[in-house]
Amino acid sequence: MAAKLIHSMIRVVDLERAQRFYTQGFGLSESHRMDFPTFTLLYLRDPRSGYELELTLNKGHSEPYTHGSGYGHIAFAVEDLAQHHQHLKSLGYTVGDIKELKAPTGAARFFFTTDPDGYKVEVIERGGHYV
C-alpha cells in the first residue's frame, strides 16, 4: 500500500496575516477551510505539487507559539532565486542573504525568510536534487 504525503500543519496566531505571507510570497491558494467552535483549519495548496500547508488557528490563543528544538524549516523551490528574494523584500518581509553550498554530490543556492509566526522558510533555487 503506497502512502501519499498530503500536508504539513503549523499553528498561527493571526490566520489572515499567515495566509497573506504564503499566498503573496509563494503562490499558495486556499483550497479548503473548516471552522469549528474552538479552532479553524485553513489549507493552502501548492498548484504545482498539490501539497498543502495547513494553518491552524486556535481561537482565543494570542501568544506566539514556541517552536521547540525539533522544528527546522519548510522549503520552496523557485526558478529565479534572486527575483524571488527581491519579490519577498518588496512585500516587506525580512529575507536573509543568498548563500551557496557545494558538495561532491551536488550544490544548492538558497536563502531563508521567516513567516509572521516565526517559522523558518527556506527558498532554494530549482535544479539538481531540488526540482
Residues with catalytic annotation? 122
Say if residue 53 is exposed, middle or buried (CB neighbours under 10 Å; 0-12, 13-18, 19+). buried
Identify the CA nearest to 115 among candidates 71, 81, 51, 79: 71
Asked whether the beta carbons of 13 and 59 are under 8 A apart, the reply is: no
Residues whose CB falls within 8 Å of the CB of residue 99, separated by 6 or more in sequence, listed in order? 109, 110, 111
